[in-house]
Structure 1
Amino acid sequence: MSGTPAPAADLRPLHRAVLDTATELVGRVRPEHLGLPTPCAAWDLGELVAHMTGQNLGFAAAARGQVTSAADFAPRPASDAPGAGFAASAREVAAAFAEPGVPARRFALPELGPDVTVRAQRGIGFHFVDTVVHTWDVARSLGTTVTFPAEILTPALEIARAVPGGAAREQPDAAFGPVRETSATAPGPAPALDQILALLGRSPAWPDGDRTGGDRTDGDRTDTA
């Protein structure tokens, strides 16, 4: 998110609320659901949950000031109880973000490159918006919906708007697919969640729309400021 200003507000309470919603939805996933398609074209539901779990654990390690490696963020394959592993990882990242001193730290994010660190507020923002979008991914894969209050969607939209677009989105290893159009059903701007999804390469109408390309890594986290 090159050039993205760090969020002014402490996102941690909102981040925790999104994690709670994600935990409830992932808790509905059963072994027979793991092969379901998701809005992330590269992943089925089992792979998506494994990715989300790994990211939780990686960000928890980064928040605690550890010198992390890519292995800390690697997917954790879902077990026969997919929700249990995810729930444990969600508790861990929430607890790590809540530790005293976290706002003053820098997060080591090796997925961006060797020795790359970002300010805590920015790192929390990355994980926050990723969790919002992946929670929607899980809901749609299960054939249901999810809603978030405006207090969550407003900062998430601000972060999503700052993700660079352009030709880089067309590359095979792009973090997100190209920006999508939203289908307005009423005058005025599309709902905030639809805007976030479209900005991050998803069709808000999925699965009626085509599969989007979605995430191949876990968001565009290229700002090291």
Structure 2
Amino acid sequence: MLVLTIGWETLLGLHERAVRETIELVRRVRPEDLDRPTPCTEWTLDELVSHMTTQHYGFAAAARGHGDIDAVWRQPPPGEDHAAEYARAAEDVLAAFAAPGVSGSEFALAEFGAGVTAPAPFAVSAHFVDYVVHGWDVARSLGLPFAPDGDIAEAALRVAEQVPDGPERKEQGAFFGPALPGSGATDSFERTLLLLGRSPTWPG
């Protein structure tokens, strides 16, 4: 279990900034970009944005006590205006996480298996690091630079260092690939990418 060393209000602030950065990136995705490959090797950019949208709704439902319902993790894919739908989903999860009393709650996370639950700080930390990395995924797919602010990069690294690197990462549908070697990496965000199975030089 992840040991959170970030205060709840600080975590919410970092999380909101990371998610809002992805809103701006998704707004730059044009219809002709949707077939582009992404660092998530099994997904096109269209599929990645759909996944990101659905996960927002699922985690929002979990924060409201409904994460044990499989259907909340199976939202229909975004329509023609993918950026507007993504923004709605992002605002939904931000509002759900910031609601009074959420910090002490237990999230049911049916997406991760029947009966899986996690304390709110653990669940929000996992969502946070996922969207810092997904921001990079979208940016790299579009050929854009991406460098999270230093405090976001440091917090993401602290979470990534605690993500287990076991055989489950090689299974189909795993959220992260096996960690990549990179003992010489000194940049916090590069280290996060390597720990979570991303090559900082993708697609090279």
TM-score range, shorter chain: over 0.9
Q: What is the distance in 2 between the residues matched to 1:117 and 1:5?
A: 16
Give 2:31's aligned amino acid.
P
In 1: Cα distance, 2:158 partner to 2:62 partner: 23
For 2:79 and 2:145, how far apart are their aligned partners in 1? 24
Gaps of 5+ in 2: none
2:97 corresponding residue in structure 1:
97
Aligned to 2:61: 61
**Other-structure match for 2:124:** 124
TM-score (norm 2): 0.92
Cα distance in 2 for partners of 1:79, 1:141 equals: 20
Per the alignment, in what secondary structure is the counterpart of residue 107 of structure 2? strand
Question: Match for residue 186 of structure 2?
Answer: 190
Q: Distance in 1 between matches of 2:67 and 2:168?
A: 29
**Structure with greater contact order relative to length (CA < 8 Å, sep ≥ 6):** 1
Structure 1's 97 and 70: CA in aligned 2 closer, same or farther, altered over 3 A? same
Residue range with higher mean Cα deviation, 53-62 or 172-181: 172-181
Q: Provide structure 1 residue ranges, at least 5 long, that are not aligned to the other structure.
A: 209-225
The letter for the 2-side match of 1:198 is L
Partner of 2:73 in structure 1?
A: 73
C-alpha deviation, 1:18, in angstroms:
0.6
Question: Which amino acid is 1:118 matched to?
Answer: A
The one-letter code of the counterpart of 2:144 is T
Q: Using the alignment, how far apart are the partners of 1:19 and 1:173 within structure 2?
A: 22
1:20 aligned residue: 20
Distance 1:81 1:62, change over 3 A: same
TM-score, with structure 1 as normaliser: 0.84
CA contact (8 A) 1:7 1:122 kept: no
How many residue pairs get matched? 202
SS at match of 2:118: strand
Q: Which moved more, 1:109-118 or 1:140-149?
A: 109-118
1:1-225 map, 5 Å: 3-10=1-8, 11-74=11-74, 76-182=76-182, 184=184, 189-208=185-204
Kept in 1, the 8 Å contact 2:63–2:120? The answer is yes
Q: Distance in 1 between matches of 2:62 and 2:5?
A: 18
Higher helix residue share: 2
Question: Could you tell me whether the CA contact under 8 Å between 1:177 and 1:200 is conserved in 2?
Answer: yes
Give distance in 2, aligned partners of 1:22 and 1:7: 24
Q: Would the aligned equivalents of 1:109 and 1:117 in 2 still touch at CA under 8 Å? A: yes
Q: Note the aligned Cα RMSD (angstroms).
A: 1.6
Separation of aligned partners in 1, 2:144 and 2:28:
11
Measured at CA, do residues 140 and 60 of structure 1 come closer, stay the same or move farther in structure 2, by a change above 3 Å? Answer: same
Paired letter, 1:130: D
Determine helix, strand or coil for the equivalent of 1:39.
Answer: coil
Tell me if structure 1 keeps the 8 A contact 2:139–2:145. yes
SS at match of 2:38: coil
